[in-house]
Copies of this chain bind each other. A is one copy, B any other.
Amino acid sequence: MAGHGARGRSGGRPTLEEVAARAGVGRGTVSRVINGSPRVSDTTRAAVEAAVAELGYVPNTAARALAANRTDAIALVVPEPETRFFAEPYFSDMLRGVGAELSETEMQLLLIFAGSDRERQRLAQYLAAHRVDGVLLVSVHADDPLPDLLSQLEIPAVISGPRSEAETLPSVDSDNYGGGRSAVEHLLSRGRTLIAHITGRLDVYGAQRRVDGYRDALRDAGHEVRESLVEQGDFTEEGGRRAMTELLARHPDLDAVFAGSDVMAAGARQVLREVGRRIPEDVALVGYDDSAIARHMDPPLTSVRQPIEEMGRRMLDLLLTEIADRRPAVSRGLERRRVVLATELEVRASS
C-alpha cells in the first residue's frame, strides 16, 4: 500500500469501531448488520454495508469467538492413521459431501487424525480447549472412548457408522445389512452355490451388519449357512489374502466370494490367481465400497456402493442441528437423529 499516512492509530485491519464511525452509527448497530439481525432499519443497514465495503472490513474471528464463546469451526475426526484414511475412498467422498454442505455456511472444517496415542492425546487437549463447536466422527470402533469424552465435554457430535444398535450419538449410516444381502442375492442369482464371505473387522458395527445380510440372504434362499464359509478379515489387502487362503483350504470347491471391502477383495483376487482360479469363471468375486480399486481391478470388480457423499452431507446437517439446539436436548426423540441410506450394487465383470 502506498503512503498510509495518518490513518489513526491503526495501520492494521479495520475494526467494528472504525466501520461504525464511518457509517455514523454505533458499534452495536454494525454488529447487528454483520450478524444479520432483523432489528435494523433499511437505511441504516445500507449505510453500514457501504462502510463495510469501503473499508474492506472483515470480522476478527478470534474476537468474535472470545466474546460469543463459539468458534464457527467443526472438526472431522478420523481415528485411524492417515494412511488408511486415504487408502479407502470412503473418507474422501464423505469429505466431499461435508465440504459441499459446509460451503453453504460460514463454518470452517478441520481435519483431525487421531491414529496414534500421541495424536489422541493432542485431540483430547484440543477438544478440552473447545476449539470446535462440533465434531464429526468417522469410522469409530466399538470400544473407542472418544464418544464418551465428547459427551462428557458436552460437545455436539455426529457419528458415521453407529458403534452398535444402541448408539447414543446421532448417526448416519448406509444400509450395511441390505448391502450384504444384495451382494449375496446377486451371486445366488448368478447360479453360485458355495458363497464365502470375508468380513471386515468385527468391532466395526457395519462389518457385522454385512455378515448378517450375508447370512440372512443365504438362509432366505433356503441355503444352509456354514460358519466355515465366513472368515474374518481386517479391511486390509493382506487380511484379504490371509482370509482367502483359509477359505480355499477349507472349501476348495467354493464358487463365489463376497468380500467386506474392495481392498480385501483385491487381496483375495491375488490368492485366487496364484492358485489358478479364474475370475469369474471359477470363482465370482464381489467387493464393497465401489472404490477406484474396484474399477481398475482385472477383471473389474462388482461392488456394493454406498452413497457416501450423501452421508457426509447428512452428517453435517445433523451436526448443525445439534449445535443449533445446544440445550438440555433431553426432549427430542431419537428417531430423526438416526439416518440410514440405501446402497446399490454395481455389477461388473468379476461376477
Contact = CB atoms under 8 A, between A and B. Distances in A.
A126 B73 CA distance: 12
B129 A103 contact: no
Contact of A86 (B59, B60, B62, B89): B89
Interface residues of A, number: 42
A298 interface: yes
A86 B62 CA distance: 31
B58 A129 contact: yes
A110 B107 CA distance: 12
Given A92-B86, A128-B58, A129-B58, A122 B103 contact: yes
B118 A103 contact: yes
A11 B171 CA distance: 30
Interface in A81-97: 82-83, 85-87, 89, 92, 95-96
B109 A131 contact: no
A92 B85 contact: yes
A266 interface: yes
B108 A111 contact: no
Contacts of A59: 129
A208 to B, nearest CB: 27
Given A108-B126, A111-B111, A130-B13, A66 B58 contact: no
Interface of A: 13, 56, 58-63, 65-66, 71, 82-83, 85-87, 89, 92, 95-96, 99, 103, 108-111, 113, 118-119, 122, 125-126, 128-131, 266, 292-293, 296-298
- For the complex of A and B, the 8 pairs showing the least CB-CB separation, nearest first, are A86-B92, A62-B65, A298-B298, A62-B66, A82-B96, A111-B111, A58-B129, A58-B128
